[in-house]
Chain A
Amino acid sequence: MAQVTGMTQERLVATLGQVGPVKLLGLDLLRRLQPRGEDWFPTDVERHTLAQATAELIDYTRACRAARACLERLPPVPLTDKAVLEFPL
């Protein structure tokens, strides 16, 4: 199985572990500009900033979707440190 891509369980874990937290402007705005009273979302956001945050979030959503699609198509990865006693070789 390993010959399909050369990917191992350890490399996959290390690769996914290297993905750092993403700094999103929208998330930052939501935390900084707490909604007031009856509002559900922040309202005092400048038009340009709002557009920038929206574009960034849409791009992030696309990137996440692409990453998910890649993971879904990932070939089998050998679990080298897992002993499956039911099927000893």
Chain B
Amino acid sequence: MSDLQALPAFLMRGLASDPTLALAVTAAWLDPGHFFPEEYTEDYIAYADRYRDDDPACALMFALGVARRCFPEVYAGTVQRIRAGDSHRQVTTFYCAALSERYPHIELWGIEDMIYGVPCQWAGLEPCGPEFVDEHPQLVALLADFGVAPREHTSSLSGEALYVCIAEADYELAYRRATPLIHSLIAQDAQPYGDLAFLLMWLFSASGNSLVDHSYDSYADAGFEPLEWEPDTLQLVDEAHQQAEIILQAAQRGLEHLQADDALRAALRRNVQRVSKALERNKNDVKRIRLDWPGRAGPGRAEDGAPGETGPDAALLQLRACYAPDD
């Protein structure tokens, strides 16, 4: 090794012998983000509207700023990879994988969109939207069980038929009919009723989980801001995604139950009729209406700590934890 090649180590030994210089070198080694120029700091990029789509460094600096503030271990790993000469793709792949390791239910496919907030998988339905009837024929059939059928939506100017959709007033009525059923299904504390409860919650945006109750558009239209990269927010979003996954898989199973089980579907229709009549009689407390469901052994009642994250047991445990009525 030549003297020139050995020079960095020699200089570093000299710098490390002085307390102040050693601290500066340590900061440069472990926390280079501290020395970023202003135009590459997280706040500047986010709030001064200086984000440039065509500048990979801009996205990387923003991602590093987030990591430095929220998850230093990801920041440390990313910095070391940049220093080791990894390509931009390798660095971002590492970053996304490290974030997934920490928050397994948040899907981050790349760092370019981080500027727009924590990524969320909005799975809510828009039953009164123009695409719903074509995209969700099974759910349209389920709404029919609640006495709701699609209607032609006509232009207010020309009177011309534009598309077929569920009218909002009809959907509201169906929701009022569904509410006592959801309570009754939760009270069964067994499958397949738990799955059916989640199916109705999804259909009527009544789960209380924003990811299940909102589509991307309805969330934005409601005036909610994108979720900021903060440790507490990330933890919440991760849990919300985990719960949403359980709810949506349960809802899918609920649909399959209804299609395969004629007795269950007949019971659903019968109970809708009872609730509808009670509502017509203007009964104040529809929750007290007696609803009957076919008795069955089902896959069993879930015990606390049952294995499986997204199976029927997980759905029941979530129902108990989040929706069971107070005694």
Residues of A bordering B, CB below 8 Å: 24, 26-27, 30-31, 34-42, 47-48, 50-51, 53-55, 57-58, 61
Contact yes or no, A51 B72, CB < 8 A: yes
Contact yes or no, A34 B12, CB < 8 A: yes
> What chain A residues lie within 8 Å of B80 (beta carbons)?
50
Question: Is B204 in the interface zone, CB < 8 Å from A?
Answer: no
Neighbour of B76 across the interface among A27, A35, A50, CB < 8 A: A50
Contact yes or no, B16 A31, CB < 8 A: yes
Neighbour of B73 across the interface among A31, A34, A51, CB < 8 A: A51
Q: Interface size class for chain B?
A: 20 to 34
Which residues, 1 to 27 on B, are CB-close (under 8 Å) to A?
1, 5-6, 8-9, 12-13, 16, 22-23, 25-27
Contact yes or no, B77 A30, CB < 8 A: no
What are 26 sample pairs from A and B whose C-beta atoms fall under 8 A apart?
A24-B23, A26-B29, A27-B22, A27-B26, A30-B12, A34-B9, A34-B12, A34-B13, A35-B12, A37-B1, A37-B5, A37-B9, A38-B6, A38-B9, A39-B9, A40-B12, A41-B12, A41-B25, A41-B29, A42-B29, A47-B76, A51-B73, A53-B76, A57-B27, A57-B31, A58-B72
Contact yes or no, B31 A54, CB < 8 A: yes
Neighbour of A54 across the interface among B13, B30, B83, CB < 8 A: B30
Question: Is B34 in the interface zone, CB < 8 Å from A?
Answer: yes
